[in-house]
Chains A and B, each alone.
Chain A
Amino acid sequence: MNEEIIIDVQGLNLWYGHNQALHNVTLPVANRKVTALIGPSGCGKSTLIRCFNRMNDLVSGCRVTGNILYHGQNIYGPEADPVELRRKIGMVFHKPNPFPKSIYENIAYGPRVHGIKNKRELDGIVESCLHKAALWEEVKDRMHDSAMSLSGGQQQRLCIARTLAVNPEIILMDEPCSALDPIATSKIEDLIEELKKEYCVIIVTHSMSQASRVSDYTAFMYLGDLIEFGETRQIFENPHKELTENYITGRFG
């Protein structure tokens, strides 16, 4: 890889209680590219993506060893502040989770908690984020309706817009389309294509075709091990490991 490496995972192990969920994972992530994590259920791909913004801190009994370097700083180091980290590394969840507030308030929430109070500034952020998330045209006349009144696909794009509003560098997406129909899915995929011009995107997906469509790099995981990592085309067309090939060709999974 001759890209700029923004996140460098080095020898990461993770335990839930006595149960080891990640074994010595090493993975470089390139800036302004899409990196997909694929693998069968329970392989640890969601666990891994939740390490990048330390969301696993919320799980009781979760323990981590190894390093994740973000701009060269270990995010699990003693001085790292998960709150500040999450501001730079946003996350979109597998089920749309808008707050039970209005559309406007959902997006303004992030800037507000980071201290922006000026109404005009907030308006600007809300509008530009909705544009970036390709949702502006659909909601511009009902900004103060409840976010719960949107369809599932719209809610997910709202969640993406909400993530963009705190101006992150990296966007983590944990199976963002798993609760959506094919049309909403294709809209999100188009959006990811747009987003990678400005952001680094890491996406967990169940769908191999989605990984091959949207990602530049792909990591294949199995039972907590990172089996193979490389350019997406190479992984799908010419996998080096037999396990990867079996999974890609649908012999298990």
Chain B
Amino acid sequence: MHTVWFFCAISSIIGIFFILIFLLYDAVPAFLDIGLIPFLTGERWDPTSIIPKYGLVPLIVGTLLVTIGAMVFAVPFGIACAIFIAELASPRMRNILKPAVELLAGIPSVVYGFFGLVILVKFLQDVLAVPSGESVLAGSILLGIMSLPTIISVSEDAISSVPRYLKEGSLALGATHWQTISKVIVPAALSGITAAVILGIGRAVGETMAVIMVTGNAAIIPDPIWNILSPVRTLTGTLGIEMGEVAVGSLHYHALFGVAVVLLLITLLINLAALTVMKRLKSSQTGGCSRKGMFSCRMITDRLSGITPHLPLGLTALLGLFLLFIGLWQGAIGILILYLTARLIDRYCIRQTVQKIWFSLVTIMMGIVTLILIFILYDIFSNGLPYVTLDFLTESPRNLGRGGGIFPAIIGTFYLVIGSILIALPLGIGAAIYLVEYTKENVLTRFIRTATDLLNGTPSIVFGLFGFTFLVLFLGFGISLLAGMITLALMVLPTVIRTTEEALKSVPDSLREGSYALGATRWQTVRRVVLPPSVPGIITGAILSIGRAAGETAPIMFTAVVFMQRRLPDSFLDPVMALPYHLFILATNVPGARNNQYATAVVLLVLVIMIYGGAIVIRNHYDKKVRW
């Protein structure tokens, strides 16, 4: 058995290894031809002109601007919501808000993008009276909303896992609840919150579909650079747009793989940073610390506690300097005024009043986020639900999807999801069993875990490119169901491994020892003692993966799907239609299909929400039942 599990376990290493190799293999010709330095520092990206230009600077600037904008919105709101859910909400409210946040994390990015395209962009256009609302601002707002669930749930975890005795210790000294939150709880959760922000950044950098739909996709450096109404194009957007139209083997094709490599490296760095911070957090919480000296966790926590009082001032100064640097002095003055107001309140109001002011602020921010999300859901359901009829669900599309239904897309999504889960589930469970049951912690397991985490943070569009070059071209599958299944399986593999691992780890060692003490073998113990109570956890992981696979567009865009396929696939090597891709094309390429766009969005949304809701219900049910 050992070998079987071992091969499952190294599947994720092989996955990340293959991705790197194949992307590099296709990117190297571009690096050689264009030259690495001109490629990275060129100021124009214009691959279709007579003299093609391949310079990454506008794309990197675009990605940076959109990401920074998203974080300016998402970080304060995310942390405020996390504080509200963890500290201010009543237990009943928390029981509603926490699963709601998890559900939001599951909404497919193409649905957000669709909302951004039809509502947000139009709204900006009307309010700001500009010719087009497709801009940095639209991208920032949308990506901010999309990375909120990640930031909220990870920071909320960090805040709630601050030991209760610290909170009690502070309250027992007569500190107010707000003083306890701001001076003890948040500083103690700081590394978790940092990790949350980094993960949110990773999410924003790697997002493709929504960005394509709202940023205008002009590969220009905004002039002046803080002109948030200028359109931009991101690294991911470039891949999403140009990959479908490029001639295989051309310089342009290789340059796109160069873009993918750069994107992959950026996200790898971001994820490594998040992982490091989280590891610190774990070791400093358990008190165990292997390293001594400068970088030991004790020194780090000392440092952290040393800097936390200065953190607000520092952040304000940084933000202000940044705004000054890019020439936006009005912004800098605004920040300064905000900061001074906060300081004055802290200084001259009695602390009970300070608490009231901050609590209302946090509550208002939570309210705004809730309203935004309710508005998104309401808009999509109210416009789409009337058109979701039985015919719509059972007919083929007509007239480029303006008429008819989405039956082939539903079937295609169904096939893709089932196929990918059938591949990912055995591999993932096997890998988790190997990691938890069959080895001790060593270099190899650390390697496997890191590879899994990195795979988890890889942008979905990168999976798409990898599937295209490896499965579609190299293995000769063509644009096919099979290629899509394998690509999606690779994408959800980390989720399956992680959730299964968590489930297996939560079975206490005393049960294993009890079984061994009766003379059972390792496999007998795993099968009869460890696996049965882990089943709910494993099912949860499987369902989450299904939800993710059902909603993703970028990985299947170049590997499995076509638009307007009348007939259903006959074999694994046929292309299919899929719901998210259908919605994407309808929304971006087919004018006059508004009703069917909304209806498709509703079907996709209901599907994904049902899947995620199922996972949450199962988990909560067993959480209550199983107590060791």
Contact = CB atoms under 8 A, between A and B. Distances in A.
Contact of B172 (A55, A102, A144, A145): A55
Contacts of A95: 165
B420 to A, nearest CB: 42
Interface in B164-182: 165-176, 179
Given A60-B91, A93-B168, A166 B298 contact: no
Given A97-B165, A99-B166, A113 B174 contact: yes
Residue among A58, A83, A91, A148 with most chain B CB within 10 A: A83
A190 B550 CA distance: 67
Contacts of A71: none
B175 A113 contact: yes
B168 A58 contact: yes
Interface string A101-133: 110010001101111000000000000000000
Contacts of B305: 99-102, 105, 146
A53 B172 contact: yes
A149 interface: yes
Interface string A71-107: 0000000000101111110110101011111100100
A110 B352 CA distance: 16
A84 B183 contact: no
Contact of A109 (B91, B183, B298): B183
A113 B179 contact: yes
Contacts of B169: 93, 97-99, 159, 162
B301 interface: yes
| Residue from A81, A98, A100, A149 having most chain B Cβ neighbours under 10 A | A100
A45 B176 CA distance: 26
A163 interface: yes
Given A99-B184, A146-B302, A90 B168 contact: no
A13 to B, nearest CB: 23
Given A95-B165, A113-B183, A148-B287, A83 B301 contact: no
Contacts of A149: 298
B184 A58 contact: no
Contact of A148 (B170, B175, B298): B298
Nearest to B177: A83
A102 B308 CA distance: 12
A159 B166 CA distance: 11
Nearest to B306: A102
Contacts of A144: 302
A81 B301 CA distance: 34
Given A99-B166, A148-B287, A90 B172 contact: yes
Contacts of B301: 100, 146, 148
B53 interface: no
A90 B173 CA distance: 6
B66 interface: no
A152 to B, nearest CB: 12
A102 B302 contact: yes
B223 to A, nearest CB: 47
B173 A109 contact: yes
Contacts of A93: 165, 168-169, 172
A93 B165 CA distance: 8
Given A109-B183, A113-B179, A113-B183, A99 B91 contact: no
- In this complex, the member of B174, B188, B284 whose beta carbon has the largest number of chain A beta carbons within 10 angstroms is B174
Contact of A83 (B163, B187, B352): B352
Nearest to A54: B171
A100 B174 contact: no
A60 B183 CA distance: 23
A55 B168 contact: yes
A88 B172 CA distance: 10
Contacts of A55: 168, 171-172
Interface in A167-199: none
Contacts of A109: 170, 173, 175, 183-184
Interface residues of B, number: 28
B351 interface: yes
Interface string B299-317: 0011001100000000000
Given A58-B168, A97-B165, A148-B287, A113 B176 contact: yes
A84 B351 CA distance: 11
Nearest to B182: A113
Contacts of A86: 171-174
Counting chain A CB atoms within 10 Å of each CB, the highest count among B173, B175, B188 belongs to B173
Contact of A91 (B163, B172, B175, B352): B172
Contacts of B170: 99, 109, 113
A163 B173 CA distance: 6
B174 A87 contact: yes
Interface string B418-442: 0000000000000000000000000
A53 B174 CA distance: 9
A113 B351 contact: yes
Interface string B175-206: 11001000110011000000000000000000
Contact of A97 (B166, B174, B298): B166
Contacts of B166: 97, 99-100
A146 B168 contact: no
A250 B169 CA distance: 34
Contacts of B284: 100
B302 A166 contact: no
Contact of A163 (B172, B298, B306): B172
Nearest to A106: B169
Contacts of A110: 173-175
A110 B180 CA distance: 11
A165 B352 CA distance: 21
Contacts of B174: 83-88, 110, 113-114, 166
Contacts of A84: 174
Contacts of B184: 99, 109
Contacts of B287: 148
A87 B298 contact: no
Nearest to B287: A148
Nearest to B304: A100
B169 to A, nearest CB: 4
Contacts of B351: 113, 115
A43 B352 CA distance: 36
Nearest to B163: A97
Nearest to A144: B302
Of A86, A113, A148, A163, chain B has the most CB atoms within 10 Å of the CB of A113
A159 B175 CA distance: 15
A166 B173 contact: yes
B591 to A, nearest CB: 55
A100 B284 CA distance: 10
Contact of B173 (A58, A87, A115, A148): A87
A22 B439 CA distance: 50
A149 B170 CA distance: 20
The 10 A-B residue pairs whose C-beta atoms are closest, nearest first, are A87-B174, A91-B172, A97-B165, A110-B173, A86-B174, A113-B175, A101-B305, A97-B169, A113-B179, A146-B302
Given A100-B187, A101-B187, A144-B302, 17 more contacts: A55-B168, A60-B91, A86-B172, A87-B173, A90-B173, A93-B165, A99-B170, A100-B166, A101-B305, A109-B170, A113-B183, A114-B174, A145-B302, A146-B305, A148-B287, A163-B172, A163-B173
12 contacts: A58-B168, A86-B173, A91-B172, A99-B170, A100-B188, A105-B305, A109-B184, A113-B179, A145-B302, A146-B301, A146-B305, A163-B173
